[in-house]
Structure 1
Amino acid sequence: MVMTPTQIEYFLMAARCLNFTEAANRLFITQPALSRQIAAIEKELGFDLFIRDGKTLKLTPAGEVLLEELPAYLMHYNKIIEKAKAKSHGYSGILHIGMLEGSILSEPFTHVFHDFTRLYPNIQIALESLSYTGLIKGINDEILDIIVTLNFDLNERGNLKTIHIGKSETYIVLKKDL
């Protein structure tokens, strides 16, 4: 059984969107191409990943397992490839930083990253955008070196050091007539 990293990305996007057309658009491929890839994956694996019921799409229990496990596998695979690539170019390392999905790098962060790469030109920075659960799993599994996130329950985790770096403004946005 062989699933390429590209096929894994295709499956993950389709599983997150639960809509092949939307997933294909996000992947910048056609919907028929995505459908063919998903069918090829299912044939290779020997089981269905999706329940197709008219226009609705749901994950099978096997698909749910893959959706849960494959992001960490893909991240680990990519880290191995990055390490090999870095060694081939003589870099001395890659700093893997995870950020909470949907967060945007503010100006202070971009300056910090710029200064860091200027001071340490042999170290690359690799940014990953993940869910909170994915960030915690990534740092606990030593796939990520640093995570930038909201605090949540991080202070309760004895194996992690937290450093407060600033406040995030939070807003509620609603229609004016409510």
Structure 2
Amino acid sequence: MALELRQLRSFMAVATELHFSRAAQRLHVSQSALSQQVRALEDNLGAVLFSRTSRMVELTPAGQALFEAAPRVLFEADRAAERVRKAASGTAGVLVIGAVGTALASIAPRIMRAVWEDAPDLRLEVTQMDTAAQLVALAESRLDVALVREASPHPALRTEPLVSEPLMVALPEDHRLACDERVRPEDLAGEPFVLWPRPLGAEFFDIITGYCREHGFSPRIVAEGTDIETQLGLVASGMGVSLQPAFYANLRMVGVAFRPLTGPAPQISLQVAWRRDDASAAVRRFVTAALAVARTIE
């Protein structure tokens, strides 16, 4: 037995009007075409749905049962069709997003707000992850889109730059250099350093260590933290200093003073990344929103 939605809608029109001519006018079809639809539905169900006389049309018990059940069927069919249309346009469904802490402390909230305003039925699931883990998860389709920092090239992924900010030095608030408006990089020689582990973001790690070497020293790394909160907590405890993107100054970590560096400092780029072969409309919508938000910041 195969029920056609068109047949159900024809049945509901007749059942509501209890008049074939008025039902046909309501549906903008001929009365004969409407009668054919109803007969086809009765044949499919193996039941007579209407009692017809020259003077009146009435629902049979089988027709009454269908009249009670059909609205729910039609509602669910319409809702399913709407969901399909929204998913195809990228305005519904679930989008799984990865983001480095740098992005969450800066541009990510504005991107997500822009997406929500444009597609309120699109559910965003956001997980904080380091860049290296995001690239792997993205390539393995465990993420749909990623907000990464200084990502290494990957053949299966595309990246677009969003915003960049300079490195700053993070100091314990009672450090001797915290009194300076700007810190000379040479003054950090010999200081204990707190950094990210290189496997979590080789490009970023190499930018920091390369910058130090350009100014005559290699950083003496005494501690590493797998997230920014841990690293800044170690700085606040007095364990060492750190070089971090200026984005993190927004966190206003208690016990930590951010100071700009003298001279040109490396710019740390945030990027949006996605799979090259991903044709998802939701991903396109997110990337478009990310680039649009970035343009307002530049």
| TM-score, normalised by the number of residues in structure 1 | 0.52
What corresponds to 2:64 in structure 1?
64
Aligned letter for 1:61?
P
1:121 — aligned with what? 118
Identify the residue that residue 49 of structure 2 maps to in structure 1. 49
Corresponding residue of 2:24:
24
Q: Kindly indicate whether structure 1 or structure 2 has the higher relative contact order, using CA contacts under 8 Å at least 6 residues apart.
A: 2
Q: What secondary structure does 1:58 align onto?
A: strand
Counterpart of 2:47, as a letter, is F
Partner of 2:36: 36
1:120: Cα distance to partner? 2.9
Within-5 A mapping of 1:23-172: 23-92=23-92, 120-123=117-120
- Structure 1 unaligned spans of 5+: 94-118, 125-178
Q: Which one is further off, 24-33 or 71-80?
A: 71-80
| More strand as a share of residues | 2
1:121: how far off?
2.6
1:57-95 CA-to-partner distances (Å, cap 9, x unmatched) read: 0000010011111101110111112112211110136xx
Q: 1:123, CA displacement in angstroms?
A: 3.9
Letter in 1 for 2:11: F
Q: Does structure 1 retain, via aligned residues, the 8 Å contact 2:7–2:40?
A: no
- Report Cα offsets for 1:121-155 as digits up to 9, x if no partner: 3247xxxxxxxxxxxxxxxxxxxxxxxxxxxxxxx
Change (3 A) 1:9 1:123: farther
CA radius of gyration, larger in: 2
Which residue identity lines up with residue 7 of structure 1 in the other structure?
Q
- 1:89, 1:77 → 2: CA distance? 18
Query: 1:55: how far off?
Result: 2.5
Q: Is the 8 A contact 2:15 2:59 kept in 1?
A: yes
CA distance in 1, matches of 2:80, 2:38: 25
Distance in 1 between residues matched to 2:120 and 2:49, nearest whole Å:
39
> 1:44 Cα shift?
1.3
- Give secondary structure in 1 for the equivalent of 2:70: helix
Distance 1:74 1:89 in 2: 23
Counterpart of 1:6? 6
Q: Name the SS for the 2:118 alignment partner.
A: coil
Relative to the length of structure 2, the TM-score reads 0.32
